[in-house]
């Protein structure tokens, strides 16, 4: 049987009943009922059922040889399934193809894992047989989703007047916040290229060149430890705009995401997206990437316990620390409290204070150490109701924030407080301009060295640089950073002041960035 124009496996519909089609794909499942043989045939478009009837003897005989993942070509008419046998889970589930002719294009050995299931498979096994892993429907859906998202992004930005421009991958190393991948030069011994961590410099050159709205969907490379949301190479949407302020950028980006979510997922995203400052996010949620699908918020309790005699709180406050708490709106026992305590200790806290709120008042081993005024203040600050539990950390501000942020996340996950179907976007703004490297203690750029400081903080650059806030912003979805951006510095003297804050001498800055300055 010669190859002829194909019909995708996911395409047959009841309206096409009677039409003869040619389908190609992989044997997904097989059921031998003695006389009749049924297979599910799969390609990237979906699945269709194929029926092998002894009436078509040659096709039926071939159907008896088929094993999972065998690649075949089937020709036959689309027919309506008998009443009661339809599969409502499949778009093609009202019909089947009656096999009149079959070609085996490639026979398959037994696969090392079930390709027709989306269950957990050992990661090393998946990578070794990646071509089989990518056949799984979940993986195919992910790749097609990625394609549809890229198309929706391009369509939206084209309508907004952006121009897609590719930039070089092999560049000079620049301080981006992560280690570079280095590529030795064949022509200049001892010299190296760096793989671009982002197109940062090139898109700034494009702005100087007058390409006032640029974007690209670009591959980036960063030599950093792998985490759930970090890997050595990744693809990002990169864009740049001239003659704009923060509000203009945020407006375009959030409308772009709203367009993509609607076109690809069929989900409406309300705009404008809410905004909170970095300081507020750390105070209320303990992280700079808050998950707002659940409403647990950290409360500042230091003023309530300012005069406390409870030794642990007293020592923390006297050392310049804080007392912060979190109301958990369900009753939990000792096992759950132990788990939350471990979560807090994982971020440096010495422990976790807790109180159970009951109809008669507070119950806790430490209640006796607090005055009535302090306990009333605790109730008012947290809004605790009978059945709730309040936990607290007394420590340095950064430790209290991180510890309660972890407690908040752990409690929400273990107690089922997360709405898994929700999409909660939030902009986090006013990040610090500088931060200290956890590895070396050196001052580094929190975003990148070309981020503009907020005008009201410029005077602090020389005297208190760690207090300077940046004109920078992150878009966060369900606790995951989707993207970040900033207003760039366009004044050479201001750029030099920021370089100085990073410990970069003027001569070094001229040598590395003179073409931009």
Six token digits for residue 63: 């159907």
Asked whether residue 448 falls in the same domain as residue 496, the answer is yes
- CA 314/CA 499 separation, integer angstroms: 41
Asked whether residue 152 falls in the same domain as residue 216, the answer is yes
- CA 274/CA 297 separation, integer angstroms: 16
CATH (domain of 304): 3.30.1360.30
- CA 135/CA 141 separation, integer angstroms: 10
Residue 419 counted as domain residue: no
Domain that holds residue 28: 14-106
Residue 125 counted as domain residue: no
- What DSSP string runs through 366-396? TGGGS-HHHHHHHHHHHT--TT-EEEEEEE-
Asked whether residue 151 falls in the same domain as residue 255, the answer is yes
Six token digits for residue 181: 């991948």
Asked whether residue 54 falls in the same domain as residue 148, the answer is no
* Last-in-domain residue among 249, 265, 281: 265
Asked whether residue 407 falls in the same domain as residue 465, the answer is no
Asked whether residue 409 falls in the same domain as residue 438, the answer is no
Query: How many CA atoms does the CB half-sphere of 308 hold within 13 Å?
Result: 28
Residue 120 counted as domain residue: no
Q: What b-and-e string marks burial along 334-345, b requiring 16 or more CB atoms within 10 Å of the CB? A: eebbeebbebbe
For the four alpha carbons of 414, 419, 420 and 423, in that order, the dihedral sign comes to negative
Name every residue whose Cβ is closer than 8 Å to that of residue 408 and which is 6 or more positions away in sequence: 285, 286, 296, 298, 326
To the nearest 10°, the Cα dihedral for 496, 498, 503, 506?
A: 0
Q: Residue 1: its pLDDT value, please?
A: 58
Q: Residue 305: its pLDDT value, please?
A: 96
Asked whether residue 166 falls in the same domain as residue 205, the answer is yes
Residue 422 counted as domain residue: no
What is the count of structural domains for the chain?
Answer: 4
For the four alpha carbons of 173, 482, 117 and 101, in that order, the dihedral sign comes to negative
H-assigned helices in 20-162: 57-63, 123-128, 130-133, 137-159
Question: Which residues face 193 on adjacent strands?
Answer: 183
Residue 373 counted as domain residue: yes
CATH (domain of 92): 2.40.50.140
Sequential pLDDT tens for the chain (517 residues): 566 689 999 999 999 999 999 999 999 999 999 899 999 999 999 999 999 999 999 999 999 999 999 999 999 999 999 999 999 999 999 999 999 999 999 999 999 999 999 889 999 999 999 999 999 999 999 999 999 999 999 999 999 999 999 999 999 887 656 789 999 999 999 999 999 999 988 998 999 999 999 999 999 999 988 777 778 999 999 999 999 999 999 999 999 999 999 999 999 999 999 999 999 999 999 999 999 999 899 999 999 999 999 999 999 999 999 999 999 998 888 889 999 999 999 999 999 999 999 998 999 999 999 999 999 999 999 999 999 999 999 999 999 999 999 999 999 999 999 999 999 999 999 999 998 887 787 888 888 888 999 999 999 998 899 999 999 999 999 999 999 999 999 898 899 899 888 888 888 888 877 777 6
Six token digits for residue 260: 């993509």
Asked whether residue 89 falls in the same domain as residue 26, the answer is yes
Asked whether residue 154 falls in the same domain as residue 254, the answer is yes
The crossing angle, in degrees rounded to 10, of helices 397-414 and 278-285 is: 60
Are 494 and 424 in contact, with CB atoms under 8 Å apart?
no
Asked whether residue 321 falls in the same domain as residue 379, the answer is yes
Q: Residue 149: its pLDDT value, please?
A: 98
Whole-model pTM: value is 0.86
Residue 98 counted as domain residue: yes
Number of DSSP helices (H) and strands (E) in the chain, helices first: 14, 23
Residue 325 counted as domain residue: yes
Asked whether residue 387 falls in the same domain as residue 453, the answer is no
Q: What b-and-e string marks burial along 478-507, b requiring 16 or more CB atoms within 10 Å of the CB? A: bbeebebbbbbbeeeeebbbbbebbebeee
Q: How many CB atoms lie within 10 A of CB 400?
A: 30
- What DSSP string runs through 260-325? HIIIII-----SSPPEEEHHHHHHHHSSSS--TTS---EEE-TTTTTT---HHHHHHHHTT-EEEE
Q: Residue 438: its pLDDT value, please?
A: 75
Q: What angle do CA 354, 359, 362 make, to 5 degrees?
A: 25
- CA 156/CA 178 separation, integer angstroms: 31
* Residue 47 Cα distances to 28, 89, 92, 329, angstroms: 8, 10, 7, 45
CATH (domain of 160): 3.30.930.10
Of 44, 9, 73, 47, nearest in space to 135 by CA: 44
Do strands 163-164 and 213-221 pair parallel, antiparallel, or not at all (unpaired)?
parallel
- CA 286/CA 296 separation, integer angstroms: 11
Residue 426 counted as domain residue: no
Asked whether residue 436 falls in the same domain as residue 408, the answer is no
* Last-in-domain residue among 90, 106, 122: 106
- What DSSP string runs through 65-84? T--TT-EEEEEEEEEEPPTT
């Amino acid at each position: 049987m010669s190859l002829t124009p194909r019909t995708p496996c996911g395409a047959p519909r009841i309206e096409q009943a009677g039409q003869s089609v040619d389908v190609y794909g992989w044997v997904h499942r097989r059921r031998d009922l003695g006389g009749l043989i049924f297979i599910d045939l799969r390609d990237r478009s979906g699945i269709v059922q194929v029926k092998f009837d002894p009436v078509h003897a040659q096709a039926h005989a071939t159907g008896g040889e088929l094993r999972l993942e065998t690649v075949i070509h089937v020709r036959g008419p689309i027919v309506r399934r008998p009443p009661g046998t339809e599969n409502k889970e499949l778009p093609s589930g009202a019909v089947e193809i009656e096999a009149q002719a079959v070609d085996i294009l490639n026979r398959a050995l037994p696969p090392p894992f079930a390709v027709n299931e989306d269950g957990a498979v050992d990661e090393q096994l998946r990578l070794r047989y990646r071509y089989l892993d990518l056949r799984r429907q979940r993986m195919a859906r992910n790749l097609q989703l990625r394609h549809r998202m890229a198309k929706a992004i391009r369509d939206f930005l084209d309508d907004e007047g952006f121009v897609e421009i590719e930039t070089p991958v092999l560049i000079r190393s620049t301080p981006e916040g992560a280690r570079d991948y280095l590529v030795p030069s064949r022509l200049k011994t001892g010299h190296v290229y760096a793989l671009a961590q982002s197109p940062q410099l090139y898109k700034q050159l494009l702005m100087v060149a007058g390409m006032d709205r640029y974007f690209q969907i670009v591959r980036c490379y960063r030599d950093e430890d792998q985490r759930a949301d970090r890997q050595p190479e990744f693809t990002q949407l990169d864009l740049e705009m001239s003659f704009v302020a923060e509000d203009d950028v945020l407006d375009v980006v959030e409308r772009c995401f709203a367009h993509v979510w609607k076109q690809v997922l069929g989900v409406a995203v309300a705009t404008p997206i809410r905004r909170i400052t970095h300081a507020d996010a750390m105070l209320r949620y303990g992280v700079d990437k808050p998950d707002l699908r659940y409403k647990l918020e950290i409360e500042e309790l230091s003023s309530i316990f300012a005069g406390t005699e409870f030794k642990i709180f007293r020592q923390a406050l006297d050392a310049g620390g804080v007392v912060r708490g979190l109301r958990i709106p369900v009753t939990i026992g000792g096992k759950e409290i132990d788990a939350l305590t471990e979560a807090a200790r994982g971020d440096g806290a010495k422990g976790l204070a807790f109180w159970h709120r009951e109809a008669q008042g507070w119950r806790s081993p430490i209640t006796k150490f607090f005055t009535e005024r302090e306990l009333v203040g605790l109730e008012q600050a947290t809004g605790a109701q009978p059945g709730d539990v309040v936990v607290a950390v007394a420590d340095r501000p950064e430790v209290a924030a991180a510890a309660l942020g972890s407690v908040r996340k752990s409690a929400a996950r273990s107690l089922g407080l997360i709405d898994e179907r929700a999409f909660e976007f939030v902009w986090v703004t006013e990040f610090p301009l500088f931060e200290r490297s956890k590895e070396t203690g050196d001052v580094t750029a929190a975003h990148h060295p070309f981020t503009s400081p907020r005008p009201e903080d410029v005077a602090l650059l020389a005297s208190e640089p760690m207090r300077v806030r940046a004109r920078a912003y992150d878009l966060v979805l369900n606790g995951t950073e989707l993207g970040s951006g900033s207003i760039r510095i366009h004044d050479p003297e201001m750029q030099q002041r920021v370089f100085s804050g990073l410990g970069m001498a003027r001569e070094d800055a001229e040598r590395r960035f003179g073409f931009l300055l």
